[in-house]
């Protein structure tokens, strides 16, 4: 279920609600709408029945992106919601390094690789960094991101999933388009405060705190 309580409560109440979910051992995911009114959205298996909320409309679902997930305890504090940021102000919550670089880059592409071996082979030939974002859409795609146009020389056209366009200038817009056009909103890109990358055939994994989710190159 996707719903927002933003029209009815302030930021303090939102943060208190997250703590209540954690205390009650309710699994949830935070997302943010990248267009006005930039509502924060919760994804849970059940709707809250004792507070006011609005379910996210089908039209608005295409503008949802996930909040960056902290891999270390101190980063949870840095990513805690503090005010009602809008426009580029939401970038600190929804952009990790790969997507921040993508928005500022002249070129960026999201592409698919068959497996870990193919990714390593490409990186040995390609002289720049490739970010690995994980498996999506029932493991159909091993999604990678690169912000160097030269990568096209090392890929088949069928591997290219989405290239950055002029309309992808706003924070989250490139990612949201990928979720909508490629993943068909059956899945959404998950982002972490540190991301696995491959360069010169070497894989660099995030450093994480105990019991924290991590990205894995399969």
Reported as a single tens digit per residue, the pLDDT across 155-170 is 999 999 999 999 999 9
Q: Is the pLDDT of residue 209 over 50?
A: yes
Segment 49-59 mean pLDDT: 94
The full DSSP string for 152-202 is GGGS-GGGEEEE--TTTTSTTHHHHHHHHHTSTTSS----BSS--EEETTE
Confidence of residue 111 (pLDDT cuts 50, 70, 90): very high
Q: Is the pLDDT of residue 30 over 80?
A: yes
Q: pTM to 2 decimals?
A: 0.91
């Amino acid at each position: 279920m996707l719903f927002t309580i933003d029209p009815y409560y302030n930021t303090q109440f939102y943060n208190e609600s997250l703590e209540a979910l954690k205390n009650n051992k309710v699994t949830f995911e935070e997302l943010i709408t990248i267009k006005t009114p930039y509502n924060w959205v919760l994804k849970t298996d059940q709707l809250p029945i004792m507070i006011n909320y609005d379910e996210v409309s089908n039209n608005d679902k295409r503008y949802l992106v996930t909040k960056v997930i902290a891999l270390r305890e101190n980063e949870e504090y840095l990513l805690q919601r503090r005010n009602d940021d809008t426009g580029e102000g939401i970038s600190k919550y929804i952009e990790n390094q790969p997507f921040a670089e993508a928005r500022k880059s002249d070129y960026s592409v999201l592409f698919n690789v068959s497996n870990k071996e193919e990714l390593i082979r490409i990186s040995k030939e390609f002289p720049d960094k490739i970010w690995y974002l994980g498996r999506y859409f029932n493991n159909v795609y091993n999604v990678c991101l690169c912000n160097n146009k030269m990568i096209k020389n090392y890929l088949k056209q069928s591997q290219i999933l989405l290239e950055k366009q002029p309309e992808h200038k706003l924070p989250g817009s490139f990612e949201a388009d990928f979720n909508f056009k490629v993943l068909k909103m059956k899945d959404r890109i998950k982002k972490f405060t540190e991301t696995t990358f491959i360069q010169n055939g070497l894989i660099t994994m995030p450093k994480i705190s105990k019991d924290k989710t991590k990205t894995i190159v399969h």
